Chains A and B, each alone.
Chain A
Amino acid sequence: RKEVEQDPGPFNVPEGATVAFNCTYSNSASQSFFWYRQDCRKEPKLLMSVYSSGNEDGRFTAQLNRASQYISLLIRDSKLSDSATYLCAGEGTGRRALTFGSGTRLQVQP
């Protein structure tokens, strides 16, 4: 089982829609989680950290569910500019600082 798993998508949604992604993790000892955004073939950039109490930044909300070992990202009022791949990351084991999921592709359509 991969340490961090995501549905690869693509998620095709109309502008203005609300969309949610989940990401499951296997390392129950993980304390730190992040969502990164990656535009086509560019570097991943931090979107937001995920705290136990949840985290909200404008239209974006991240949640952590420790009991079920998943993190989620909710995007409200989707914009065309939100089209990208969203990578979740959790605290790695062994040699890894972070372990990344393979990414979920979002395509927001006019």
Chain B
Amino acid sequence: EAQVTQNPRYLITVTGKKLTVTCSQNMNHEYMSWYRQDPGLGLRQIYYSMNVEVTDKGDVPEGYKVSRKEKRNFPLILESPSPNQTSLYFCASSFRFRTDTQYFGPGTRLTVL
């Protein structure tokens, strides 16, 4: 089954404790991205990757890191989480950059205390 998976789905952590949210897709998509979704603000892009070893900042990259060592995986790293990073996070992938449907993972609900 074609899908995007994320783990963990729910996470409660404390300020400053490094965490990684994994994202994996099995559709051989080149383009992957991370979004956060907050009430009233919609989906905002954090980072994206056009292909292996090619990553770039989105609209709200501060406090986040990513890596793309393999085509299928695109982890999101929070080196020192803060309460303002409490949000719902989605990973997405697509075959082409702009003209293609994006497939979203199930989301990770993160709470930083």
Contacts and interface: CB of A to CB of B under 8 A. Distances in A.
Interface stretch (A61-69, A70-78, A91-99): A91-99
Interface string A82-95: 00000101011001
A46 interface: yes
B15 to A, nearest CB: 23
> Which of A44, A49, A89 gathers the greatest number of chain B CB atoms within 10 Å?
A44
Interface residues of B, number: 27
B56 A95 contact: yes
Majority SS at the chain A contact face: loop
B48 interface: yes
Interface string B87-113: 010100010011111111111010000
A41 B104 CA distance: 12
Given A8-B40, A95-B45, A100-B42, 9 more contacts: A32-B99, A42-B106, A42-B107, A43-B104, A91-B99, A95-B57, A97-B102, A102-B41, A102-B42
